Amino acid sequence: MVSVDNFQVAKETALSGGKAQARAWPVRAPSPFPAPNAPVSLYLQNLFYPWRRIRGVPVVATADMSAANLARIRSVCGADVRVMPVERRRLLDRIARDHRDALLDEAVNGLWRHEPQFSARIVATRGQMLCLGASAAGFLAALALAPPPAIAALTLLSSTGYIANAAFRMGLVWMGASDRVWSAPPPALPDDALPLYTILVPLHREANIVPALIAALAALDYPPDRLQIVLALEADDRDTIAAVEGAILPPHFDCVFVPSGEPRTKPRACNYALQFARGEFVVIYDAEDRPEPDQLRKAAAAFRAAPETVACFQARLNFYNADKNLLTRLFADDYALWFDYLLPGLERIGIPMPLGGTSNHFRRAGLIAIHGWDPYNVTEDADIGIRLARMGYWVRTLDSTTFEEAPEKPRDWLGQRQRWLKGYMQTWLVHMRHPRRLLRHAGLLGFLGFQCFIGGTFAAALLNPLLWLLCLASLFMHGTVASFSLREFVGVTSLAGLLTGNSLLTYLMMLGPVRRGWLGLAPYGLAAIGYWLMISIAGYRAVAELRTDPWHWHKTPHGCASAA
Binding site for another protein (CB under 8 A): 173-174, 177-179, 341, 503, 506-507, 510-511, 513-515, 517-523, 525-526
Q: Are strands 48-54 and 290-291 parallel, antiparallel or unpaired?
A: unpaired
In angstroms, give the least distance from the CB of 466 to another protein. 24
Task: Answer for the pair 202, 169: CB distance below 8 angstroms, yes or no.
Answer: no
Q: Are strands 82-85 and 394-404 parallel, antiparallel or unpaired?
A: unpaired
Reported in sequence order, the residue ranges of 221-359 that DSSP labels E, i.e. its strands, are 227-234, 253-258, 281-284, 290-291, 310-319
In angstroms, give the least distance from the CB of 504 to another protein. 10
Those residues with Cβ within 8 angstroms of residue 222's Cβ, 6 or more apart along the chain or in another chain: 194, 197, 296, 297
Q: Which C-beta is closer to another protein: that of 139 or that of 174?
A: 174
What is the distance between the alpha carbons of residues 458 and 476, in angstroms, rounded to a whole number?
29
In angstroms, give the least distance from the CB of 526 to another protein. 7
In angstroms, give the least distance from the CB of 329 to another protein. 11
Q: Which C-beta is closer to another protein: that of 507 or that of 540?
A: 507
Q: Which C-beta is closer to another protein: that of 415 or that of 513?
A: 513
In angstroms, give the least distance from the CB of 174 to another protein. 6
Q: Which C-beta is closer to another protein: that of 171 or that of 250?
A: 171
Task: Answer for the pair 360, 366: CB distance below 8 angstroms, yes or no.
Answer: no
Q: Are strands 480-481 and 310-319 parallel, antiparallel or unpaired?
A: unpaired
What is the distance between the alpha carbons of residues 468 and 494, in angstroms, rounded to a whole number?
7
In angstroms, give the least distance from the CB of 483 to another protein. 20
Q: Which C-beta is closer to another protein: that of 312 or that of 471?
A: 471
SS (H, E, C) 303-335: HHHCCCCEEEEEEEEEECCCCCCHHHHHHHHHH
Residue 203 DSSP SS3: strand
Q: Which C-beta is closer to another protein: that of 9 or that of 349?
A: 349
Alpha-carbon distances of 176 from 169, 344, 393, rounded to whole Å: 10, 5, 20
What is the distance between the alpha carbons of residues 493 and 556, in angstroms, rounded to a whole number?
38
**Position 393: which residue type?**
Y
In angstroms, give the least distance from the CB of 361 to another protein. 25
Q: Which C-beta is closer to another protein: that of 341 or that of 428?
A: 341
Q: Which C-beta is closer to another protein: that of 510 or that of 546?
A: 510
Q: Which C-beta is closer to another protein: that of 101 or that of 179?
A: 179
In angstroms, give the least distance from the CB of 522 to another protein. 4
Q: Which C-beta is closer to another protein: that of 3 or that of 183?
A: 183
Q: What are phi and psi of 47, to 5 degrees?
A: 55, 45
Q: Which C-beta is closer to another protein: that of 24 or that of 526?
A: 526
CA geometry: angle 367, 404, 357, nearest 5 deg: 25
β-bridge partners, 530: none
In angstroms, give the least distance from the CB of 462 to another protein. 26
DSSP for 513-543, written as a single string = GGTTT-GGGGGGGGGHHHHHHHHHHHHHHHH
In angstroms, give the least distance from the CB of 343 to another protein. 14
In angstroms, give the least distance from the CB of 424 to another protein. 25
| CA distance between the termini of the chain | 36
Q: Which C-beta is closer to another protein: that of 395 or that of 509?
A: 509
In angstroms, give the least distance from the CB of 523 to another protein. 4
10 Å CB burial of residue 500 (0-12, 13-18, 19+) is middle
Task: Answer for the pair 200, 279: CB distance below 8 angstroms, yes or no.
Answer: no
Residue positions counted in the chain: 564
